[in-house]
Structure 1
Amino acid sequence: MSAAAAGAAAALTPAPAGADPGADKPSAKSVNARIDGLYEQAEVATEKYNGVAERAGKLREQVSDAQDAVARGQSKVNRLRDTLGGLAGAQYRSGGIDPALTLMLTSDPEGYLDKATTLDRIGSRQMLKLRQLQTAQRNLQQQRTEAAGKVEQLDGLQDALSRQKKSVRKKLSAAKRLLGRLTAQERAERERASRGGRGADGGSKVGSGGAKASSGRAAAAAAAARSAVGRPYAWGAAGPGAFDCSGLTQWAYAQAGTSIPRTSQAQRSAGRQVPLGEARPGDLIVYRDDASHVAMYMGNGQVVHAPHPGAPVRYDPVGMMPISSVTRP
């Protein structure tokens, strides 16, 4: 268990019966540190959830395509069987069914084809249809195997999503309980402190590259992010009604006609790295060494981001937390 998680658990332990409730009450500073730790852990878990969800979405499309291929393959096999049945009917009406064709219409046409001594009893058209049926059945079996494998993979990802969801909810519930221990004044002070720019990288040199976006798509993405200010935070959400941090930046670039990855870790590599001093509107500001948070630079030392539960999409100082990198998609 991490130090932040251990601290959070200790803060949630009830006092012994008969003890003075205020005697061992943790300070607002220590409670805030524990809340920050839980929010950070929840954000890491959320980005893992987003990554798994993205893979599951792609695999779900592959499963659908594979199942469509199986259906098409089965239809082809059925058509070939119908055609061969028609040939058998024609032979019957003309004086009887060729024994070779009868053998072909059994469930093992491939075994029949291996009996080379009977091949001369099959007409050229029948031979062609037989070989087509043989190939179609082989392809159908392969498609069924591939589809079953993808369904199994998808089931595994669904289980992983469920575990990640429980992890995020557990951490956010613990943070909410800790917040409830703060007074209204302490919560207000916490809110002001969270927006005050505590990182060492938020100085006057930030964004000296200019207040103008580096491209038309970056300008459009910045405009989209600004339009989302005030909308609620929701973990795992990518708009348009609610967002988590990487969901907001992905959605904003989608409005500009540009696709970027779903997670903050992947977004760090979704373009060219630029020095912090050259940041321009539309650039992605990635935070912490593990790249677990991302925001969009707006100029004038400000970013727009989706902070955490209970805090809507908003403007904050670029140096609100340690900056890992600046990416220009």
Structure 2
Amino acid sequence: MTLQATPLNAAHRAAGARMVDFGGWDMPVNYGSQIEEHHAVRNDCGMFDVSHMCVVDLQGANARAFLRALVANNVDKLQIPGKALYSCMLNADGFVIDDLIIYFFSENWFRLVVNAGTAEKDIAWIAAQNDKTGSGLVITQRRSGPGALALIAVQGPNARAKVWQVLPQTRAASEALQPFNAVVVAGTPFGEVMLARTGYTGEDGFELAFPAAQAEALWNALLAAGVKPAGLGARDTLRLEAGMNLYGQDMDETVNPLDAGLAWTIDLVSERDFTGKAALLAKGQQAQFLGLILREKGGVLRAHQKVATAHGQGEITSGTFSPTMQQAIALARLPLGVAVGDTVQVEIRDKQLAATVVKLPFVRHGKVLVS
């Protein structure tokens, strides 16, 4: 099978990146030292090619009404242009088709950013709902074709300053931008740029969407400004420290989002109906999503390891060795009776090793929040 490539593929290879198959995409896992890339984002500034993710523009007079029924979070929270909302898109059984970010630019234009591996499935689902409801929306994917956009995430305490150094034309419009807001700026040397104060690392920064034809030029300009390239390896350890879910690992079409720590993204309070709401109300929450810190030597926490608790068995969904904390950490789905501070036993290669249950996240804005 031929792997799909982002517009930055040649730049990654020229930089000596170690490339891997990531859900059918040829992506950099690191550029030498995953640990150095991780620390660069926590302490200074790093950048990720996230062009494999897919921007989907929804345009039309019925866009808001359509999204009210499509996603579990309430798009009526989006009243100010540029405001963003994180949500799950559920099937009728209340399971997660995908998690995504919705940006509101006008009543006729909402922008979604969906995951790489689910993009085709997502667009087909959205199109089917558009037809079913007669909403008449124009659905445009921006990952390929004439209007293709590249996506670069610049993350870290110095990320915004570095972006302004490379894109001074954007500073006035984005300096006062609050987290989870975006602005579109025209007239830069790299074309029209959307700057979103969002990310997947637990650090500040921007996610940039701009014409794919300018991808290498902007990447190289950021490189020249001292922004360190970072690959999928560092992206995973950073997001795990930040307690952020990964689709396909921490939740998918077999998982109730209430059991995946995503209740905060689901509006069950308002009278608004949405696909999957009835199923969620019928099932309720059956497990909880918490962090684990391994307390004994002899192993690393990994996905699918079983967790024995006084209230029954749980399971790790994502695990790693934390470069910031220098400890093995994990995200886990645990029985409802388990409490923060409890000691549980993780099954690692036929051994039972003690771990402490902690509240997520582990790390945010460079600070360790658990012990």
Structures share fold, TM-score greater than 0.5 = no
More helix by share: 1
More strand by share: 2
Q: TM-score, normalised by structure 2?
A: 0.20
